[in-house]
A and B are shown apart, each in its own frame.
Chain A
Amino acid sequence: MATQSVIGQKNNKGQTFTDPRYMMHEAERTPSFFTGSEVIKEAIRRASCDVMIAYPITPQSEAAALIGELFAEGYIGDYFRGESEFAVMSQCAGAAFGGARVFTTTAGPGTMRAMENFPMWAGARLPIQMIVTCRGINSPLSIQPDTLEISYLMQTGMLVWHAETAQDFYDWILKGYMVSEEPDVHLPLALCCDGFFVTHTKDMVDLTPVDMCLPPYDPYRSPVPCMDMECPPVRMMRDPFVMKSNYISYATHASWQQEVWAAVERSRKHSIAWLDGLIDTENTDAEILLLASGTAVSQGREAIEILADEGIRVGLVKVKTLRPWPGEEIIEATKNAKHIIVPEFNVTGWLAREVKATIPNNERVHAGPHVCGGMTMPPEIIASEIKTLLGIKVQTLSARGS
């Protein structure tokens, strides 16, 4: 076990292991014009990852392949293509059990195929980071953006964050490791974005210096033993309770699950510090609030401008972390609102449901507009939804004769 700080030392690529707070908050940034996929690569270049495991599925294939280039350049310890997402997520687990900092990416049907792994990751306290570039999961086949898969991830015990922009993505990949590897958290992170909108569009992103990287993962800070035979191989249980039908067995399993969710809660303080709060707010004194996560926030911002031109004032709540769920923050931010509009890129409206389950007087929550199956959400749709809600007559889309 390392007993001396590695801060200031160099890795084999000449990058300096840097205090992450300095690297993320103080070091000079360079504006760069990149696609979301390239941004993922640039973040991982600076993340001191040990193992990345890849599998092709649109729209994350490009990012996964670009990280292969990083491996070829010597920035990552090992990299390979697995045989399916189920296998890849198990391979990630194996690498994390072995004490590696692990990264992977997936999307839509891949997330669903791998789903059995995610509660296992959380239960085994493996701080794997998985990028989810959301896409449609239902039949008929669609490769287009749709965020339905996030609602499944929210029940797994993983941390779930929803990035709006490529800049969020860049910062949160690096900050994500810092939160999920905290000994009192030590949980996997699903860092989600809306596929294509973020991955395949170019944006200006401020990058941290390329010669700085995160300090390496220290598996001996884990709350559970690292499976490398470097610490005593004690019998894990005197009497294996795996399938016993008795109270102690139930109580043990129950307390383990409760501890996973308690760790999600404990991630709150670290996430607040790193992300500058679990939500961002603008003009929450307005009577009408738009509450969203991911790309729906960007579309919401434009809708707010359209409405402002027409004299309608709308505030904004951007939800950054879904797990931990920013319940208190949302209660506080929505306390003045008479109408809370929740636009979403999925058919079920899971975000609106979460908000309804959180705030008092939840008839204020208006679930919608919803688009799904890859449809875009023009800001005009959000604006007209709000106007309809206010009793203002609007033209229907078909009437506009597009």
Chain B
Amino acid sequence: MSKERIKIAPELFEIMPPEYQDLVDRATYGNETRGWKDIGNAKELIEEHSLCAGCPESMAFRYILASLPNPEDTVMVGSTGCTSLVFPHVAVHNIHSLFGNQNAIASGLKRALSVRFPDRHKDVVVLAGDGATVDIGLDMTLQAWFRQEKFTTICFDNELYANTGGQESGLMQKGFVAKMAPVGKTFEKVRLPEIARESGCHYVVNCTVSKPNLVEKVIKNAIHVAREIGPTYLQLYTPCILEIGKNSMEGLQEMRDSEKPTERFAYKEYVSEPAKELLTEIAAKEKERKAAAKKQLASQGA
């Protein structure tokens, strides 16, 4: 697959907006080796966003979009919240419908695409906040996993309802004082990664988005496993700097602090047996590809 589908008729090229011309000329659709390192070198699939300055969610968005293995055949599903302000700027098809129903939408979508394109990979990726994933949408999050729906669920965990102004959420830490938790949250942060594993997810990761190469790795793994085996879940810490009283430049440090071995976003991973096999296979192929490329480069040099 290439950029065939987004090409502009030559007669009309000049009148298209420059960012669309850029998508055609410089985006990485169809490039099998695309990844976070393209940021700054190629046209990103996200145009300028409307999140707060320094919001870690915006970093996460850029890394994820740069890492999708197959953006030319990927449809994303969002939900209500800060992410829904970003999706209109994203150059892959994306659906916003209601709050909390994202895994239900994705279930129907994935099945329709499988019926319509039986011989092609059409990846479906859900990206929603913790309120959508764990509170109002928990039922549909879990049921999609029980049914072994073949798509990836990404939760941007900022441990509260950010877009509505900082209310308590299920993924908030116990004791945190927030709107609607006036004397501090009285129960523990919901352990969704463990629940995901028990609910049938084949690849589960809990981490922050402080390291772009790590984000790239887990995104690619999650999407490949979802495509071939079954549901996958990523819980990514994207702190709401506004609501936890940090400054614009402090998001990265907040994530680094929270991923220390004893902290709640220390890297945790679960991979099912069939997923392990698949990922080993993919890693071997990747190694082969790199070796071949190196060899070719060497022969060209000689």
Contacts and interface: CB of A to CB of B under 8 A. Distances in A.
A274 interface: no
Interface in B114-133: 114-117, 122
Contact of B91 (A80, A95, A228, A234): A234
Contacts of A83: 139-140, 143
Given A51-B111, A77-B115, A120-B97, A94 B105 contact: yes
Given A87-B143, A227-B75, A229-B74, A82 B95 contact: no
B93 A225 contact: yes
Interface string A225-241: 10111111111110110
A348 interface: no
Nearest to A94: B108
A165 to B, nearest CB: 31
Contacts of B232: none
Interface stretch (A96-104, A184-192, A261-269): A96-104
A93 interface: yes
Given A90-B98, A95-B111, A228 B5 contact: no
A97 B88 contact: no
Given A94-B112, A116-B98, A236-B88, A227 B93 contact: yes
B139 A229 contact: no
B85 A98 contact: no
B147 A94 contact: no
A229 B50 CA distance: 24
A97 B95 contact: yes
Contact of B115 (A53, A78, A236): A78
A84 interface: yes
Interface string B62-78: 00000000001111010
Interface in B131-157: 139-140, 143, 147
Interface string B153-196: 00000000000000000000000000000000000000000000
B111 A78 contact: yes
Contacts, number: 147
Contacts of A98: 75, 108-113, 116
Given A51-B111, A227-B93, A229-B74, 19 more contacts: A50-B115, A82-B107, A82-B143, A88-B104, A90-B105, A91-B105, A93-B108, A94-B95, A94-B109, A98-B110, A99-B112, A99-B113, A227-B109, A228-B117, A229-B93, A233-B90, A235-B20, A242-B88, A243-B85
A105 interface: no
Contacts of A240: 50, 85, 88-89
Contact of A90 (B20, B88, B97): B97
Interface string B35-66: 00000000000010010000000000000000
B5 A120 contact: no
Given A98-B109, A233-B93, A228 B104 contact: no
A51 B104 CA distance: 14
18 contacts: A50-B112, A77-B111, A78-B114, A86-B104, A93-B105, A94-B104, A98-B111, A98-B116, A99-B113, A99-B116, A100-B116, A228-B75, A228-B113, A230-B5, A233-B90, A237-B88, A242-B84, A243-B85
Interface residues on A, range: 35 or more
A51 B5 CA distance: 26
Nearest to A91: B108
A235 B115 CA distance: 27
B143 to A, nearest CB: 4
A359 interface: no
B11 to A, nearest CB: 16
A92 interface: yes
A199 interface: no
B291 interface: no
A236 B75 CA distance: 14
A124 interface: yes
B257 interface: no
A111 interface: no
